[in-house]
């Protein structure tokens, strides 16, 4: 097989498609020598493969790609959004229902953040949903300590620079004052690391609760903490512009509750 073969797909894209890792993570796996094609270890992602090629990761053949699927998950506070945590903290993936297939998160929510987290079995969908160029609005309910005024919130609406990092203008509305705290609705389009918490701190406000309630067209709705719900194939197809022949691997399932205890889930 020639590396300049114009047919097929890039090897990293194929690995992402079957849920091995995101495309960027797959490229790192390739550079680390963990991927072989037709019995030969490769060290560059600049390679196209077709359905006739035999691909192995860590000596194991990859599974056939399932059709793209997407789930809504209500992440509770206290879970980290990572496959493995160096500090041994519980992860989102440890807590998912046993019958969930291998999935990747679309972006992250910090340890103390709650609410809507999208999960997918498809690396290409993950990449598409995370790209800033999609411009999808992420909406949050934010509880802050204090009594914010329009003057306090104005820099957030205009766009603010924090530690040399420029944050795009946020949509910020004051919903209600509740004793010593206030509830805000905040919308952002980039989702940088701890963006809302850092921006609030920059204008003198402290976030003590943060719940993501929307990601583009997808809503948290009445999902309870720990519940998972699959997005119907037609909704997924229409929102992401997937081919009309797309069919889900299985029919959409009812809401399922994540595990509360037990040994970490093998992934």
- The 8-class DSSP code of residue 259 comes to P
Percent of the chain with pLDDT over 90: 57
Residue with tokens 């196209």: 48
The topology (CATH level 3) of 9-61 is: 3.10.290
pLDDT band for 261, please (50, 70, 90 cuts). Answer: very low
Residue 110 annotated as catalytic: yes
Query: How much is the average pLDDT of 197-226?
Result: 96
| Domain 9-61 and domain 137-215 have a common topology | no
44-81 tens-digit pLDDT: 999 999 888 999 999 999 877 778 889 999 999 999 99
Q: Does residue 244 or residue 83 have the better pLDDT?
A: 83
C-alpha triplet 88, 190, 11: angle, nearest 5°: 70
Q: Which two tokens stand for residue 62?
A: 């990859």
Side-chain half-sphere exposure of 220, counting CA atoms within 13 A = 18
Domain 67-134+223-244 belongs in CATH node 3.30.70.580: yes
Q: What is the pLDDT of residue 266?
A: 40
As given in the structure block, the two tokens for residue 112 are 């103390």
Q: What are the φ and ψ backbone dihedral angles of 124, each rounded to 5 degrees?
A: -70, -40
What residue spans define the domains of the chain? 9-61, 67-134+223-244, 137-215
Whose tokens are 């003198």? That residue is: 204
- Fold of the domain built from segment(s) 137-215: Alpha-Beta Plaits (3.30.70)
Burial of 79 (0-12, 13-18, 19+ CB in 10 A): buried
- What is the C-alpha radius of gyration for the chain, rounded to an integer number of angstroms? 21
Q: Which of 4, 110, 122, 150 is catalytic?
A: 110
* pLDDT (tens digit per residue) in 237-251: 888 776 544 444 444
How far apart are the C-alpha atoms of 267 and 255, rounded to whole Å? 21
Answer yes or no: pTM beyond 0.85: no
Higher per-residue confidence, 248 vs 43: 43
């Amino acid at each position: 097989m020639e590396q300049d073969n114009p047919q097929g797909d890039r090897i990293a894209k194929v690995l992402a498609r079957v849920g091995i890792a995101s495309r960027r993570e797959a490229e790192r796996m390739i550079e680390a020598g963990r991927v072989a094609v037709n019995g030969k270890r490769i060290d560059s992602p600049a390679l196209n493969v077709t359905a006739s090629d035999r691909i192995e990761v860590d000596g194991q053949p990859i599974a056939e790609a399932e059709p793209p699927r997407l789930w809504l998950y209500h992440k509770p506070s206290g879970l980290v959004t990572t496959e493995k945590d160096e500090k041994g903290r519980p992860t989102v993936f440890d807590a998912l229902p046993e019958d969930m297939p291998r999935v990747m998160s679309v972006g992250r929510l910090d340890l103390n953040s709650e609410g809507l987290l999208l999960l997918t079995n498809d690396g290409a969908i993950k990449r598409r949903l995370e790209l800033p160029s999609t411009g999808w609005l992420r909406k949050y309910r934010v509880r802050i300590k204090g009594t914010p005024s329009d003057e306090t919130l104005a820099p957030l609406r205009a766009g603010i620079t924090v530690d040399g990092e420029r944050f795009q203008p946020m949509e910020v509305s004051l919903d209600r004052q509740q004793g010593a705290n206030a509830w805000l609705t905040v919308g952002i389009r980039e989702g940088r690391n701890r963006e809302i918490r850092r921006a609030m701190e920059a204008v003198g406000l402290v976030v003590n609760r943060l719940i993501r309630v929307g990601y583009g067209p997808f809503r948290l709705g009445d999902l309870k903490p720990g519940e998972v719900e699959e997005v119907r194939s037609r909704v997924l197809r229409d929102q992401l512009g997937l081919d009309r022949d797309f069919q889900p691997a299985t029919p959409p399932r009812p809401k399922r509750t994540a595990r509360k205890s037990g040994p970490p889930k093998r992934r």
